[in-house]
């Protein structure tokens, strides 16, 4: 027998979703465990919202079954469902003449009596939910008069008020600035890991999905394209296929998106390391200047950005001095370039050769740039 702690809080069994009887995505089978966060990612229009709305019964599934606490949701009444599952969807909510406090209070309806009167405990839950999403300061504001980002937080507060076991969210970070994106995801993470609430949501920001999710669902085509842990899903090949990326790249390790590398004759050689080269690589990419980089250790932060942006990058083994062949290759590229950029990385045991390369460039009459300001002024 499955124990309470291991039984899925939400389970989709061969679910087929779509509109007007026409299937969009078929045979979806997955389980959401207690305290787990699952994120749906995929291109616009792939069907992420359709899957979530079928789970919450905002649209009817074409076939298959959704189980909530191992009960077929078709057999569960609205009040019981609302006590176990809360939804924050992208549909515009247009309440008339309601304060944010009153709107959030509606999340308590599964627990209030026939007259919908709030008890002292209910009011405490409402205030606590507003506090969790940093919205106490707008509790008395008319909800029609707040910003989209504030409205998103108020919607989450209403869901929290339901004290659910499962929360379904459709693009919860939409309209939020970076501070409030981080705060919202921190809230969801705490609710899952400390409160045991299960979360299933769609996210456009794949870097955020990678960081917060226990498992990832890739939505594309008429079937689920892939389902697994972030470590299994977030490989460059998987994302390239999912989003049909034909130029640029996504670094799964760092969560970096890099644009297409400039192509053509190499104009400069960048001597970086330790992250000091990153702003120079990106500045050159913006200007469309083809460049080479080196000598970088393969585990260096710079390497992750230089490889997709440079025409070529000379790399050495981690924690090792470069070989004679690698130094010779760097000097050959310096000879071919008109300009050398010294990014200012401090010298250490394994990159002493960088100073030698800079001296080599100066001895051979190369222009050496040592700042982003100098780079912006240079004619490359």
Task: Going from the first residue of the chain to its last (380 residues), give the mean pLDDT of each consecutive group of 10, the final group possibly shorter.
Answer: 68 95 94 96 93 94 95 92 90 74 91 79 94 92 89 92 95 87 90 94 92 94 91 81 80 76 93 93 94 93 92 92 93 94 87 90 93 82
Residues 241, 286 share a domain: no
Nearest to 254 by CA among 308, 200, 188, 176: 308
Residues 214, 274 share a domain: no
Nearest to 47 by CA among 170, 167, 156, 166: 170
Task: Find the radius of gyration of the CA atoms of the chain.
Answer: 27
Residues 347, 242 share a domain: no
8 A C-beta contact, residue 261 and residue 309: yes
Domain closes at, from 186, 221, 251: 251
Tokens 């939400």, residue located: 10
Q: Helices (DSSP H) in 222-273: which residue ranges?
A: 230-233, 236-243
DSSP assignment of 29-67 equals EEEE-TT-EEEEE--TTSSHHHHHHHHTTSS--SEEEEE
Q: Which domain holds residue 20?
A: 10-251
- Is residue 3 assigned to a domain? no
The whole model's pTM is what? 0.83
Tokens 């760097």, residue located: 330
Residues of 127-155 as b/e, b for ≥16 C-beta within 10 angstroms? bebbebbbbbebbeeebeebeebbbbbbb
Tokens 């062949």, residue located: 325
Residues 172, 78 share a domain: yes
pLDDT at res. 27: 95
Residues 194, 124 share a domain: yes
Residues 192, 79 share a domain: yes
pLDDT at res. 92: 58
8 A C-beta contact, residue 111 and residue 125: no
Please tell me the total count of domains within the chain.
2
**Peptide bond just before 295 cis, omega within 30 deg:** yes
pLDDT at res. 1: 38
185: left (phi over 0), alpha (psi -120 to 50) or beta: alpha
Residues 265, 240 share a domain: no
Residues 363, 242 share a domain: no
Domain closes at, from 227, 251, 275: 251
> Which H or E run contains 314?
strand 312-316
- Is residue 64 assigned to a domain? yes
pLDDT at res. 18: 94
CATH of the domain at 141: 3.40.50.300
pLDDT at res. 75: 92
Q: CA dihedral defined by 203, 254, 270, 324, rounded to 10 degrees? A: -150
CATH of the domain at 309: 3.40.50.20
């Amino acid at each position: 027998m499955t124990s309470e702690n291991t039984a899925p809080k939400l389970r989709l069994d061969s679910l087929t979703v779509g509109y007007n009887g026409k299937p969009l995505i078929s045979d979806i089978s997955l389980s959401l465990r207690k305290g787990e966060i699952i994120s749906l990612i995929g291109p616009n229009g792939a069907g992420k919202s359709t899957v979530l709305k079928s789970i919450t019964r905002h649209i009817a599934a074409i076939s298959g079954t959704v189980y909530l606490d191992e009960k077929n949701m078709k057999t569960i009444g609205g009040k019981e469902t609302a006590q176990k599952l809360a939804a924050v969807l992208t549909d515009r909510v247009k309440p008339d003449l309601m304060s944010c406090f009153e709107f959030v209070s509606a999340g308590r309806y599964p627990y209030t009596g026939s007259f919908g009167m709030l008890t002292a405990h209910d009011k405490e839950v409402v205030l606590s939910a507003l506090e969790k999403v940093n919205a106490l300061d707008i509790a008395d504001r008319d909800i029609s008069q707040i910003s989209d980002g504030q409205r998103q937080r108020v919607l989450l507060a209403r869901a929290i008020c339901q004290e659910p076991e499962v929360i379904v969210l459709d693009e919860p970070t939409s309209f939020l600035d970076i501070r409030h994106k981080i705060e919202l995801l921190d809230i969801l993470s705490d609710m899952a890991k400390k409160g045991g609430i299960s979360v299933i949501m769609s996210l456009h920001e794949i870097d955020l999905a990678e960081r917060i999710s226990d498992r990832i669902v890739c939505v594309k085509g008429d079937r689920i394209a892939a389902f697994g842990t972030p470590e299994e899903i977030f490989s460059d090949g998987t994302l390239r296929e999912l989003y049909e990326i034909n130029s640029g790249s996504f670094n799964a390790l760092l969560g970096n998106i890099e644009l297409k590398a400039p192509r053509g004759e190499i104009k400069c050689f960048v001597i970086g390391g330790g992250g000091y080269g990153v702003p120079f690589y990106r500045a050159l990419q913006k200007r469309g200047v083809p460049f080479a980089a080196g000598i970088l250790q393969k585990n260096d932060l710079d390497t992750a950005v230089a490889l997709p942006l440079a025409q070529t990058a000379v790399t050495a083994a981690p924690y090792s001095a470069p070989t004679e062949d690698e130094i010779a290759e760097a000097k050959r590229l310096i000879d071919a370039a008109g300009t050398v950029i010294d990014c200012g990385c401090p010298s250490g045991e394994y990159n002493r050769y960088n100073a030698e390369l800079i001296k080599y460039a100066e001895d051979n009459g190369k222009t050496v740039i040592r700042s982003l300001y100098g780079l912006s002024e240079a004619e490359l």
